[in-house]
Chain A
Amino acid sequence: MSDNSTLSELDRPNSYIGRSVPRPNIRRLLEGRGTYTDDIVLPRMAHVAFHRSPHAHAMIKSINSEAAAQVPGVIRIVTGRELAEVMTPWVGVLSHLAGMKSAPQHAIAVNQVCWQGEAVAAVVAENRAVAEDGVELIEVEYDELPVVADMETALDEGTHVIHPELGDNLIFQRELDVGDVDAAFAEADEVVEETYRFGRHTGVTTEPRIIIADYEPAEDNLTVYLSSQAPHMMKNLYAKHLDMEEDKVRVICKDVGGSFGIKVHTYADEMATVALSKLLKRPVKFLADRLESFVTDIHARDHRVKIRLGIKKDGTITGMEFDDLTGVGPYSMYPRTSGIEANQVVVLTGGPYTFKNYRAKATVVALNLNLMCQYRAVGHPIACAIAEGIVDDAARAIGMDPAEVRRKNLIPDDAYPYIANSGLTYEKLSHHQCLDKLLEMMDYDGLRQEQAELREKGVYRGIGLASMIEVTNPSPMFYGAGGAFISAQDGVTVRMDHNGGVTASTSITEQGQGADAITAQIVASSVGVDIEKVRVVSGDTEVTPYGGGTWASRATGIGGEAALRAGKQLRQNIKVIAGAMLQAEPDTLDVQGGTVVDIDTGKERLALSEVGRVVYFRGDTLPKDLQPELVVSRHYVPKEFPFTFTNGIQAFHVEVDTDTGFVKLLKCWVVEDCGTVINPQLVDGQIRGGVIQGVGGAMLEHCIYDDNGQLQNANMADYMVPMAVEMPDIEIAHCSSPTKDSELGAKGAGEAGTCGAPGAVMNAINDALSPLSAKVNNMPFTPEKVLKALGKV
């Protein structure tokens, strides 16, 4: 599958790497025998529900909980002021995002509520229904404050400042100016410009956020069961804000029902739950039900971007500039901040192309709306859509085919390493290879011909392309350098037991994407055992090595490399022991299929169970100077590059009903280069799952707020995500440019689908509409927006 000369470790006999092995350990999910956090019941477990502010911005005058306290089964009612004595507030800033500011946020609002849905009081009760009975009876008097709900006016003189002590509503600003953009535009034959809008949307994990906090006062231990992507990060934060020793905190993630970046943040209500457990000295459970999840799960992508691009008649792009404005929440989310998304737009936009004149500005303002933060593909969908949208505009302006314009401007495949306008280095990408493969796979020319024929009949089909780059495998430069205890490294411990079985505990976490499966594949391959002999443990801070978890498309690239290194070393250790037992040189041996063999002939010499039996039960028979070690830990952190970039390209084929404005997605194609592919089926699953979330933002998903900061569609019926009927088949192909920073060579693949889909869908719609001189630029593209573009309403 890949370049053999560099991947010998991956091409061992019976290697599982590169094979679509069905995920081990998921039959239980198919039989309803998983353990999601909601399935856990602890002795004396209480349930909390929150009274939440109906106002987007107000001062709390008084809270009357007398009636609520009388409800049979209500255990305790706690306000923000009381909870603040147990838990300290936090501020979501990173020091390497210069100038970023935010106000301290409490687990429960103390004086001021800043968005509709912010918790004002907690009702702890014997069960959830009773807790909700109590919530209904809490009376809160508010003094309403002006609501800052419009990002365009948030920084205007006269606009209310949400946190007066900060001076204004500006959270973060980033500018980048490379080359000479003015000269580039002067040199261009055409300068095209457009304003794009992206609707705020959210992740809608099928399993809502959920936490069970179990504080045990006798030993001052806190165990938290959490549906999360980053247990070690949360362990640190619980200890920090509860003023506990971090060693006393354990975070356990059982099966996680979808995360997508939603479950990697510090949610106030979850922090409150942990504090309540400490306060009440008993387990407390909180589940953000579907009404709560829409007003509290982080939102993302609320951006307005004005962009210009210069192009010559021969298709050469001369330069680009844009101004991005995004309105986040009243607080920057902790600890990853609400500034990364805009920063990514600055760093990534136009990244696949060779033009050298680039001016970007991003402004992040505070609003009295729910908090925004990193959701799958953070910033990429915006960066990709604005660049790909304006490139298509430019292609139309000079009358060139969009595929040709891309061919002309994409970074050549032999130009690597390549330093991007952002100053970051692309180690090795394959834009042209991917483009060629895509055009062939989709029969681009055939579709263009069909399109022309159908137009004659009044059928409007469109083809949209979106080239992309994606940030994966982030180094400590992403968060650690900014002062956050978010680990960029991961570790894996492998252990061989007496029967030859291998247990691998890893600090990456399973969200359904298959982290456990790829760990098993890599460990089985590198140790030399059948995959059935490998058990993987993840998601428990007490028993796994310290590490980052799952986010930023990092688990396979980083945790996978740690698994490879640990497995290799275990194999080496086994060979040394077997060598002693067989009186052979270790280097003449190998481990294959659970057996020690002669490396040259493959002749079976010793079963691993025999090695295990001797090591664990008859160590006396081994040489005295040999200390057998059948437990090995290895870690890995990317060192060579701050980020490992991947690339790919997507295409959508759509049909627009010009009478109704409805858009039918007919087909999607993706070519992706994520380096070494460990399990093609899992990568395809990630890409397809990513695509649907990108399609959601492009076509349907939108957190609709009114001027008073009231979310209008905070339920699953009114907030629409794509369902099976709305999605087309998605065909996928791969190119492979492994990173040389690791032996595994794997880059990330979890977010690419989400990155490219919105731009590709938009371009396809606009391609369909182009003969009608209509264009859409405001996601999601509802029928009404298409009709408006067509001038029909």
Chain B
Amino acid sequence: MSTLYPVTVTVNGSPVTRHVEARLSLSDFLRQELELTGTHVGCEQGVCGACTVRLDGRITRSCLVFAVQADGGEIETVEGLSDNGEIDDLQTAFHERNALQCGYCTPGMLITANELLKKNPSASRAEIREELSGNYCRCTGYHAIVDAVETTGRQRQGGAK
């Protein structure tokens, strides 16, 4: 049996400790050890973006970090961001605009889009497309996603004024 390493992380605000193999990716750690299955795995090579989470405040591909490396870190997943309401407006816009079909890319897409809107709520359609260009969606053709992100950005700007 391979060596097990202790990992203590704060996930969606709650501290958790597990003992895992060094080779366990953060995405598999979240999905298998913590049963947070909202983080999806699509390629395991950092390309598709479905596994995007927030690690220590930065959006990160959880398939490209080993769980042991996240030790001591703070992780936020789509479940946590749903529970605390941070992305509620974006979720509502995605729903109303049908900016998701199969939903597999959606958690990563929401987390990435939220990051963009935090920096630049007035992002143009071209800027939105650029920022989302690391997240695969095979269903929507992106148009509806861009619509939903644009709409949410406008709402957030309005709210800030």
Do A's and B's CB atoms come within 8 Å in the complex?
yes
Residues of B within 8 A of A39 (CB): 31, 37
In the assembled complex, the Cα of A259 lies from the Cα of B1 at a distance in Å of 38
Given A39-B37, A692-B141, CB of A206 within 8 Å of CB of B50: yes
Shortest Cβ distance from B53 into chain A, in angstroms?
10
Given A36-B104, A258-B104, A725-B129, CB of A689 within 8 Å of CB of B136: no
Q: Of residues 1 to 28 in B, which have CB atoms within 8 Å of A's CB atoms?
A: 1, 21, 23-24
In the assembled complex, the Cα of A717 lies from the Cα of B39 at a distance in Å of 20
Residues of A within 8 A of B141 (CB): 688-692, 727, 730, 753
In the assembled complex, the Cα of A260 lies from the Cα of B139 at a distance in Å of 9
Shortest Cβ distance from B126 into chain A, in angstroms?
8
Shortest Cβ distance from A414 into chain B, in angstroms?
34
Interface segment among A456-464, A506-514, A618-626: the answer is A506-514
Residues of A within 8 A of B136 (CB): 204, 206, 716, 721, 723
Contact: A724 with B132, CB < 8 Å?
yes
In the assembled complex, the Cα of A682 lies from the Cα of B135 at a distance in Å of 22
Contact: B45 with A290, CB < 8 Å?
yes
Residue of A33, A72, A289, A721 near B79 (CB, 8 A) is A33
Contact: A685 with B144, CB < 8 Å?
yes
A13 within 8 A of B: no
Residues of A within 8 A of B77 (CB): 32
Residues of B within 8 A of A243 (CB): none
Shortest Cβ distance from A518 into chain B, in angstroms?
12
Q: Mark A750-786, 1 if CB is under 8 A from B, else 0.
A: 0001000000000000000000000000000000000
Residues of A within 8 A of B75 (CB): none
Residues of B within 8 A of A72 (CB): 1
Residue of B48, B125, B138 near A260 (CB, 8 A) is B138
Contact: B143 with A729, CB < 8 Å?
yes
In the assembled complex, the Cα of A693 lies from the Cα of B138 at a distance in Å of 8
Residues of B within 8 A of A31 (CB): 38, 78-79, 82, 91
In the assembled complex, the Cα of A31 lies from the Cα of B103 at a distance in Å of 10
Q: How many residue pairs at the A-B interface have CB separations less than 8 Å?
A: 176
Q: Of residues 726 to 748 in A, which have CB atoms within 8 Å of B's CB atoms?
A: 727, 729-730
Contact: B133 with A725, CB < 8 Å?
yes
A452 within 8 A of B: no
Residue ID in chain A nearest B111 by CB atoms: A32
Given A22-B95, A512-B102, A724-B128, CB of A203 within 8 Å of CB of B138: yes
Contact: B101 with A32, CB < 8 Å?
no
Shortest Cβ distance from B135 into chain A, in angstroms?
8
Contact: A513 with B37, CB < 8 Å?
no
A205 within 8 A of B: yes
A207 within 8 A of B: yes
Residues of B within 8 A of A512 (CB): 100-103, 139
Contact: B142 with A724, CB < 8 Å?
yes
B106 within 8 A of A: yes
Q: Of residues 69 to 124 in B, which have CB atoms within 8 Å of A's CB atoms?
A: 77-79, 82, 91, 94-98, 100-107, 110
Contact: A717 with B47, CB < 8 Å?
yes
A129 within 8 A of B: yes
Q: Mark A198-222, 1 if CB is under 8 A from B, else 0.
A: 0000011111100000000000000
Residues of A within 8 A of B98 (CB): 20, 22-23, 514, 681-682, 685
Given A32-B107, A724-B146, CB of A129 within 8 Å of CB of B102: no
Residues of B within 8 A of A22 (CB): 95-96, 98
A793 within 8 A of B: no
Given A36-B40, A207-B42, A514-B101, CB of A29 within 8 Å of CB of B48: no
In the assembled complex, the Cα of A689 lies from the Cα of B129 at a distance in Å of 16
In the assembled complex, the Cα of A564 lies from the Cα of B133 at a distance in Å of 41
In the assembled complex, the Cα of A753 lies from the Cα of B106 at a distance in Å of 22
A422 within 8 A of B: no
Tell me how many residues of A have a C-beta within 8 Å of chain B. Answer: 56
Contact: A26 with B95, CB < 8 Å?
yes
In the assembled complex, the Cα of A257 lies from the Cα of B125 at a distance in Å of 26
In the assembled complex, the Cα of A546 lies from the Cα of B136 at a distance in Å of 34
Residues of B within 8 A of A35 (CB): 37
Residue ID in chain B nearest A696 by CB atoms: B138
Shortest Cβ distance from A356 into chain B, in angstroms?
37
Residue ID in chain B nearest A40 by CB atoms: B37
Residues of A within 8 A of B21 (CB): 129
A38 within 8 A of B: yes
Residue of A206, A289, A514 near B138 (CB, 8 A) is A206
Contact: A727 with B129, CB < 8 Å?
yes
In the assembled complex, the Cα of A590 lies from the Cα of B37 at a distance in Å of 45
Contact: A30 with B91, CB < 8 Å?
yes
Contact: B79 with A689, CB < 8 Å?
no
Residues of A within 8 A of B39 (CB): 32
B41 within 8 A of A: yes
Residues of A within 8 A of B101 (CB): 258, 511-514, 685, 689
Residue ID in chain A nearest B42 by CB atoms: A206
Shortest Cβ distance from A680 into chain B, in angstroms?
10
Shortest Cβ distance from A61 into chain B, in angstroms?
32
In the assembled complex, the Cα of A258 lies from the Cα of B103 at a distance in Å of 8
Contact: A206 with B144, CB < 8 Å?
no
Q: Mark B30-59, 1 if CB is under 8 A from A, else 0.
A: 010000111111111101101000000000
Shortest Cβ distance from B72 into chain A, in angstroms?
24
Residue ID in chain A nearest B1 by CB atoms: A72
In the assembled complex, the Cα of A22 lies from the Cα of B96 at a distance in Å of 5
Residues of B within 8 A of A260 (CB): 138
B140 within 8 A of A: yes
Most buried by A among B1, B37, B94, B98: B98
In the assembled complex, the Cα of A36 lies from the Cα of B84 at a distance in Å of 24
In the assembled complex, the Cα of A29 lies from the Cα of B95 at a distance in Å of 10
Q: Of residues 669 to 726 in A, which have CB atoms within 8 Å of B's CB atoms?
A: 681-682, 684-685, 688-693, 715-717, 721, 723-725
Residue of B82, B95, B139, B144 near A258 (CB, 8 A) is B139
In the assembled complex, the Cα of A158 lies from the Cα of B76 at a distance in Å of 62
B68 within 8 A of A: no
Residues of B within 8 A of A26 (CB): 95, 100, 103
In the assembled complex, the Cα of A205 lies from the Cα of B137 at a distance in Å of 9
Shortest Cβ distance from A288 into chain B, in angstroms?
12
Most buried by A among B38, B102, B104, B129: B102
Residue of B38, B133, B135 near A32 (CB, 8 A) is B38
- A-B contacts, 20 listed (Cβ < 8 Å): A29-B106, A32-B82, A34-B38, A36-B40, A38-B41, A207-B40, A255-B103, A257-B103, A258-B102, A260-B138, A682-B98, A688-B140, A688-B142, A716-B43, A716-B45, A716-B48, A723-B133, A723-B136, A724-B128, A724-B142
Interface residues of A (CB under 8 A from B): 20, 22-23, 26-27, 29-36, 38-39, 72, 129, 203-208, 255-260, 289-290, 511-514, 681-682, 684-685, 688-693, 715-717, 721, 723-725, 727, 729-730, 753
Q: Which 3 A-B pairs have the closest CB atoms?
A: A32-B38, A512-B102, A29-B103
> 14 more A-B contacts (CB under 8 A) besides A31-B78, A258-B101?
A29-B103, A33-B38, A36-B104, A129-B23, A129-B24, A205-B102, A206-B105, A681-B97, A685-B101, A685-B144, A721-B136, A724-B129, A724-B137, A729-B146
Interface residues of B (CB under 8 A from A): 1, 21, 23-24, 31, 36-45, 47-48, 50, 77-79, 82, 91, 94-98, 100-107, 110, 125, 128-130, 132-146
